[in-house]
Amino acid sequence: MMSRFIAVLSVLLSILALGACGVTAEPTSAIMISDPWVRAAVVVDAMPEEPTAMSMSQDGAMADEMDHNNAMGSTSAAYMTLRNTGDADDALIGATTDVAATVELHTVERDGDVMRMRPIKQIDLPSNGSAELKPGDYHIMLIGLKQDLQTGDSVTLTLTFQNAAPMTISAAVHQP
Ligand SMILES: [Cu+2]
């Protein structure tokens, strides 16, 4: 009698253990976002067409902004650090916000003696890895601003990932 009870108990325990160990669970990603911010910018009228790249002697971010102000109306960019603390690779694949007509993921690359921005499909977030979005490097480009973005404002961004669920965050607006 007692041995049968123990047998049933051990079957139950092993079922629980299988569940707890996640034998059937897929690897998951877990995205942590820190220090999100958006560069302050004002809506300005489009300027006449000019060369689309500028010398990057001083501030790459400023060159980015002037470049885009000529080509695509007023722009800004969002920056942050993204960490994937999960055991599956992931990637940032898009973003949306109400304050800009278009949002793109960009990288910055040297082309001769100028730095150029280029849209990219994704920013990789390997398992236990991170990506830093910062001026002169990866950024979330906000194109066609619908309103001024002034220091003290905050911008709501929704980020979409290859694996993780979308995340909506609030980013403080300030100068670089
Ligand atoms: Cu850009």
Domain ranges of the chain: 30-174
Instruction: Identify the pLDDT of residue 56.
Output: 43
11 by DSSP, 3-state: which?
Answer: helix
Distance (angstroms) between ligand 1 centre and the Cα of 16 equals 50
User: pLDDT 10s per residue in the chain (176 long)?
Assistant: 555 545 544 544 454 444 455 455 677 879 999 999 999 999 987 655 544 444 443 445 555 545 544 456 799 999 999 999 999 999 999 999 999 999 999 999 999 999 999 999 999 999 999 999 999 999 999 999 999 999 999 999 999 999 999 999 999 999 99
Instruction: Identify the pLDDT of residue 169.
Output: 97
Which of 115, 120, 76, 119 lies closest to 99, judged by CA? Answer: 76
Distance (angstroms) between ligand 1 centre and the Cα of 118 equals 7
Instruction: Identify the pLDDT of residue 57.
Output: 38
Residues with a beta carbon under 5 angstroms from ion ligand 1: 106, 117, 141
Per CATH, domain 30-174 is 2.60.40.1890: yes
Q: Which residues pair with 90 in a beta bridge?
A: 125
4 by DSSP, 3-state: which?
Answer: helix
Distance (angstroms) between ligand 1 centre and the Cα of 164 equals 24
CA distance readout (Å), 58 to 23, 42, 92, 101, 115: 54, 21, 29, 29, 11
Distance (angstroms) between ligand 1 centre and the Cα of 129 equals 23
Instruction: Identify the pLDDT of residue 45.
Output: 72
CA distance readout (Å), 86 to 10, 26, 41, 91, 163: 32, 11, 35, 12, 11
Distance (angstroms) between ligand 1 centre and the Cα of 6 equals 65
Instruction: Identify the pLDDT of residue 9.
Output: 47
As a whole number of angstroms, the distance between CA 3 and CA 9 comes to 10
Instruction: Identify the pLDDT of residue 48.
Output: 53
